[in-house]
Amino acid sequence: MSGIDAQRFRRIATEEAWAPSDMIRRYRGLISENKVDDPGFRSLMGYFLFNESPVTKGVVERLQDAGERRIADMDATGIAKQIIGITSPGVQIFDADTATRLSVEYNDELAEACRRYPDRLYPLAAIAPQDPKHAAAELERAVTRLGMKGAIVNSHTHGEYLDDERFWDIFAAAEALDVPVYIHPQTPPKSMIAPFLDRGLDSAVYGFGVETGLHMLRLIVSGVFDRFPKLSVVVGHLGEGIPFWLYRVDFFHARIVKTKRYEKVKPLELTPSEYMRRNFHVTSSGMPWAPAILYVRQVLGADRVMYAMDYPYQYVPEEVEAMDALPISDDEKVEFYETNATRVFKLG
């Protein structure tokens, strides 16, 4: 047993993954029948679903449990609550009709599982950006009828990013419902994956962060946050590298706008870093590393940084101990572990 004191903090883990068994079956079929033209998906799910190691098998078993086993694992690591989202790439890998239909089915399934542990498990809604109008309607149904806490979008959908206005019904719905959209990584799309894949850098090791950081910057420079100033976006992995880049992004974005370098890059109401501090929260998923956490708290504000474990992909008890040992006060730890998440996801 680890040295985690389960009583000391009410730890809320905010980027925790779940996979419907039906989706796992469909993924296995897509890969073994070679039916999907996406090298990132083949790399990611070909590994998790066909690798023989007990480590990957354990991850895939845990992914499919939204019940007793998950609760036992939470108890063993002092996690009071999980915010649960459908694992990457969720329904976004399917064609529009299948994805749309499955998003409804999987949301019903996850909501029902979470209802059995009402003070432990809190679901995010899977949506299918392939059909933005349906995605917006499904988010509304999930929040108002199923009690879900926001949406999860596993980054690009067949190489398309949410800064494209055709997706903005999703943001309009999230803003109107006053719930966050969690933008979770996925492997880079076919158009950018080759130099990642041939050195094994396409997944969580690095490619995820590059792809999702790009998604964040695309949203910011597109003007999406001028159109939806109250939109709340959550990202993991301490902001996918972007907090480290903000000075340079601000500097060159201003110069590009001022010199009219690109017709498409229009002036914005705020600087990129101001949108980061106004419209984004970040979680510590996968990055239980004191220097990085302290830096991001300094740059974005302590009210913008929340704890996440990234269960079951990174189910490592020692990481909870490392977070308990962060060089911040106990009051600041309560903010990091609990109150920021309670506010952002409205856990009531």
Ranges within 301-340 binding Mn ion (CB under 5 A)? 310
What are the Cα distances from residue 66, in Å, to 71, 86, 168? Answer: 8, 11, 31
Distance of CA 247 to the CA centre of its chain: 24
| Residue 134 falls in which region: left (phi positive, over 0), alpha (psi -120 to 50) or beta | alpha
Ranges within 116-175 binding Mn ion (CB under 5 A)? none
In sequence order, the β-bridge partners of residue 85 are 17
The DSSP symbol for 90 reads G
Tell the smallest beta-carbon distance from residue 172 to ligand 1DF (Å): 27
- Out of 285, 296, 306, 333, which residue is the one contacting ligand 1DF (CB under 6 A)? 285
Candidates 73, 310, 330, 331; catalytic one = 310
CB nearer to ligand 1DF: give 203 or 284: 203
User: What would the two tokens of residue 12 be?
Assistant: 């809320």
Backbone angles phi, psi at 167, to 5 degrees: -95, 0
Give the separation between CA 207 and CA 348, rounded to whole angstroms: 35
CB nearer to Mn ion: give 13 or 268: 13
Quick check: 85 binds ligand 1DF (CB under 6 A)? no
CB nearer to ligand 1DF: give 87 or 100: 87
Quick check: 161 binds ligand 1DF (CB under 6 A)? no
Give the separation between CA 44 and CA 9, rounded to whole angstroms: 34
Is 18 in contact with 85 (CB distance < 8 Å)?
yes
Tell the smallest beta-carbon distance from residue 22 to ligand 1DF (Å): 17
The verdict on whether 163 is a catalytic residue reads no
Contact partner, 87, from Mn ion, ligand 1DF, none, Cβ < 5-8 Å per class: ligand 1DF
Ranges within 191-230 binding ligand 1DF (CB under 6 A)? 203-204
Q: Which spans of this chain sit near ligand 1DF (rule: CB under 6 A)?
A: 17, 44, 87-88, 185, 203-204, 236, 285-286, 310, 313
